[in-house]
Amino acid sequence: MILNILFFYLAAVTIISALFVVIKRNAVHSAIALLVTFVHVAGIFLLLNSEFLAAVQILVYAGAILVLIIFVIMYLNVTQRYRMFNRLKLIAFFVGVVLFAEVLYIITRTALKGQKGEFPIAKVMEMGNTEAIGKVLFTDYLFPFEIASLILLVAMIGAIVLAKKEI
Amino acid sequence: MIPLHYYLILAAMLFMIGMTGFLVRRNFLTVLMSIELMLNAVNINFVAFAHYMDSMTGRIYVFFIMTVAAAEAAIGLAILISAYRNTKTTFVDEMNSLKG
């Protein structure tokens, strides 16, 4: 019962603050609304027994990406008086509503059954969420993990080269 | 126990808000934020399926999506800064110097 109330609170705040991200004129207000969205998505991860991912969500999204975005907002000094939407707005709104209706139809009509994995909730709770993720990450997904570090290296070099004044 | 459908519908709503924002906004910064919203919706889907299917794979995928999101935000903002230096604008429909 309390979990249901918690889920509906988290879902409602996530959706409303996501709407504010899109409809706010001031970019700083959008960024603050985005922060609220990230924190509540982390709460949804907690409801789904993923404590490690909730921590990483707050660290990486709210801590790194959002600070970077706000830093660029301050750096660029965006003007406040401008047209918010381009001329696609009616078409895009229509496409969004139709696509959402389609996805809703598919979700509610499908049984969503599948083969069960090897990590039931009781086992994960016994061994700890972080340990379970680490065990899978460093055995089955070791190669993608190394590739991810390479992606971060390339992104770092690329960002430095792109933002430099003269190459 | 909350049904799996609720999480999927929440993720679908979040994704559609992000997609509409990506299509309609003129400010490059808000477009980047809309991309982050869409990636978050996908993350919710992955974690929900991983939870209900007793699997760890979905959670690992979320980990990699966060890596790619961080790289994408850094590169996107670097592109914005270098484009602003040349065109003095942050509006995507005014950056049209490559149009023939």
- Convert chain A into a string of H (helix), E (strand) and C (coil): CHHHHHHHHHHHHHHHHHHHHHHCCCHHHHHHHHHHHHHHHHHHHHHCCCHHHHHHHHHHHHHHHHHHHHHHHHHHCCCCCCCCECCCHHHHHHHHHHHHHHHHHHHHHCCCCCCCCCCCHHHHHHHCHHHHHHHHHCCCCHHHHHHHHHHHHHHHHHHHHHHCCCC
Please name the CATH architecture into which domain A1-110 falls: Up-down Bundle (1.20)
Could you tell me if A6 lies within 8 Å of chain B, comparing CB atoms? no
Give the span between the Cα atoms of A80 and A98, in whole angstroms.
32
Q: Note the pLDDT tens digit of each residue in A86-131.
A: 888 899 999 999 999 999 999 888 887 888 888 888 888 888 889 9
**Apex CA B94: angle with CA B90 and CA B95, to 5°?**
75
The residues near A56 (Cβ < 8 Å, ≥ 6 apart) are B63, B66
Which chain A positions have a beta carbon within 8 Å of B9's beta carbon?
104, 107
Contact A121 B64 (CB under 8 A): no
Give the span between the Cα atoms of A164 and B93, in whole angstroms.
24
Cα dihedral B3/B5/B11/B15 (nearest 10): -170
CA distance B86 to chain A (A): 11
C-beta separation of B24 from A86 below 8 A: yes
Looking at residue A154, its amino acid is V
pLDDT recorded at residue B100: 67
CATH topology of domain B26-91: Helix Hairpins (1.10.287)
Q: Residue B98 — pLDDT band, cuts 50, 70, 90?
A: confident
Nearest to B51, CA basis, from A127, A103, A119: A119
Of B2, B37, B52, the CB nearest to A7: B2
| Mean confidence (pLDDT) of chain B | 91
Could you tell me if A159 lies within 8 Å of chain B, comparing CB atoms? yes
**Domains of chain B: which residue ranges?**
26-91
The residues near B8 (Cβ < 8 Å, ≥ 6 apart) are A107, A112, B45, B48
Q: Note the pLDDT tens digit of each residue in B20-42.
A: 999 999 889 999 999 999 999 99
**Domains of chain A: which residue ranges?**
1-110, 119-167
3 state DSSP class of B25:
strand
Contact B69 A96 (CB under 8 A): no
Size of interface A-B (CB pairs under 8 A): 229
Nearest CA in chain A to B86: A165
Looking at residue B39, its amino acid is L
pLDDT recorded at residue A18: 95
pLDDT recorded at residue A167: 62
The CB density around residue A94, as the number of other CB atoms within 10 Å, is 11
Of A11, A119, A124, the CB nearest to B10: A11
Q: Collect the ranges in chain A with pLDDT lower than 50.
A: none
